[in-house]
C-alpha cells in the first residue's frame, strides 16, 4: 500500500481529514516524557485522524533524547494511520539522498515535507521512494511567506507559489507528490487546488495560527471531497496541561473532526 492509498484508507475508516501535529514542547507539556506524551495522545485519538505529523524541530531541539522519542513515536503509531515527518528538508542531490534515507528508512515515516527551492534534483531522491509521500512547500502558512512566495515571475507574472504547484504537477510521474498549502491564505489555496486538482494537500494553519476552517475545507478538498490533510497541533495536544491532557486532546480532536465533516457535507 503506497502513501496515498494508506491516507485514503485512513480517511475512510476514521471518517476524518484531521491530522494531529505531534509537536512536544516541554514548556507547555505536563510533566511526562516526550514519548509517553505522544503515546497518550495517539492512544486517545488514533480513531479520529487521517494522519499524524511530528515536526522534527521539536525533537532535534532536545538532542538524542528527543530523536529517540521521535523514532519510538513513529514506530508506535498504528500501522493504518500514516505518519508525516515534517522535516522541510532540501539540499543538493547527494545530501538529499541521505535525508531521504534518514526519514524513510531510519525513522520509517510514510511521508515527509520537502523544500523545493533547490529544484528537481533535490526532490528526486525523495520521489524515488515511490511508496512514500513527498509534500513540497508551496504556500506556507506563516506571515513571512509573502516575502518570496508571492513574488511575480518575470516570464509569466504568476506568483512563485503557483509555479511551484505547476512544476510539482509536471514532476509527479510516480504519483507520490503533494503540496503544503496553508489555511491562512484561502484564495491561494483555492488557486493551487485549481492547478493541481488531484494532488494531496497538507494544510497547516488551523487553530493557533488563525486559519479559516471553512475555507480550508471548501478550497482544499479535491472533487471527491478528499485529499486534504487538515493539520492542527497546539489546539489539540495542549487542550489541557493537566493530568487529563489525553482526554482533553480527544475531545478537541473529536470536535474538530466533526466540524470538518460538517463543512464537507459528510
- 34, 66 in Cβ contact below 8 A? yes
Radius of gyration of the CA atoms of the chain, in A: 17
**Rounded Cα distance, 168 and 257, in Å:** 29
**Rounded Cα distance, 167 and 157, in Å:** 16
Please identify which of the residues 39, 88, 169, 227 carries the catalytic annotation: 88
Strand ranges for 95-224 from DSSP E = 111-114, 133-139, 177-181, 201-203
**Rounded Cα distance, 71 and 144, in Å:** 31
Strand ranges for the chain from DSSP E = 18-22, 51-54, 84-89, 111-114, 133-139, 177-181, 201-203, 228-232
Q: How many CB atoms lie within 10 A of CB 235?
A: 18
Annotated active-site residue 88? The verdict is: yes
Q: How many CB atoms lie within 10 A of CB 143?
A: 9
| Residues labelled catalytic | 88
Amino acid at each position: 500500500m503506497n502513501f496515498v492509498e494508506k491516507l485514503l484508507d485512513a480517511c475512510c475508516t476514521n471518517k476524518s481529514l484531521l491530522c494531529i501535529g505531534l509537536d512536544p514542547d516541554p514548556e507547555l507539556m505536563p510533566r511526562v516524557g516526550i514519548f509517553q506524551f505522544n503515546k497518550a495522545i495517539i492512544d486517545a485519538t488514533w480513531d479520529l485522524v487521517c494522519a499524524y505529523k511530528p515536526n522534527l524541530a521539536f525533537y532535534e531541539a532536545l538532542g538524542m533524547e528527543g530523536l529517540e522519542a521521535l523514532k519510538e513515536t513513529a514506530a508506535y503509531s498504528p500501522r493504518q494511520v500514516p505518519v508525516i515527518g515534517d522535516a522541510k528538508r532540501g539540499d543538493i542531490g547527494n545530501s538529499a539522498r541521505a535525508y531521504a534515507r534518514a526519514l524513510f528508512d531510519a525513522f520509517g515515516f510514510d511521508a515527509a515535507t520537502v523544500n523545493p527551492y533547490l529544484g528537481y534534483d533535490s526532490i528526486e531522491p525523495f520521489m524515488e521512494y515511490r511508496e512514500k509521500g513527498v509534500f513540497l512547500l508551496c504556500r506556507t502558512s506563516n506571515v513571512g511567506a509573502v516575502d518570496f512566495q508571492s513574488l511575480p515571475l518575470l516570464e509569466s507574472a504568476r506568483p512563485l507559489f503557483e509555479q511551484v504547484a505547476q512544476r510539482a504537477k509536471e514532476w509527479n510521474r510516480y504519483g507520490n507528490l503533494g503540496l503544503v498549502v496553508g489555511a491562512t491564505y484561502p484564495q491561494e489555496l483555492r488557486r493551487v487546488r485549481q492547478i493541481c486538482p488531484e494532488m494531496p494537500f497538507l494544510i497547516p494553519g488551523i487553530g493557533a495560527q488563525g486559519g479559516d476552517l471553512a475555507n480550508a475545507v471548501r478550497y482544499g478538498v479535491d472533487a471527491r471531497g478528499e485529499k486534504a490533510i487538515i493539520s492542527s497541533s497546539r489546539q489539540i495536544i495542549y487542550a489541557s496541561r493537566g493530568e487529563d491532557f489525553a482526554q482533553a486532546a480527544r475531545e478537541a480532536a473529536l470536535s474538530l473532526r466533526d466540524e470538518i465533516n460538517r463543512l464537507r457535507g459528510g
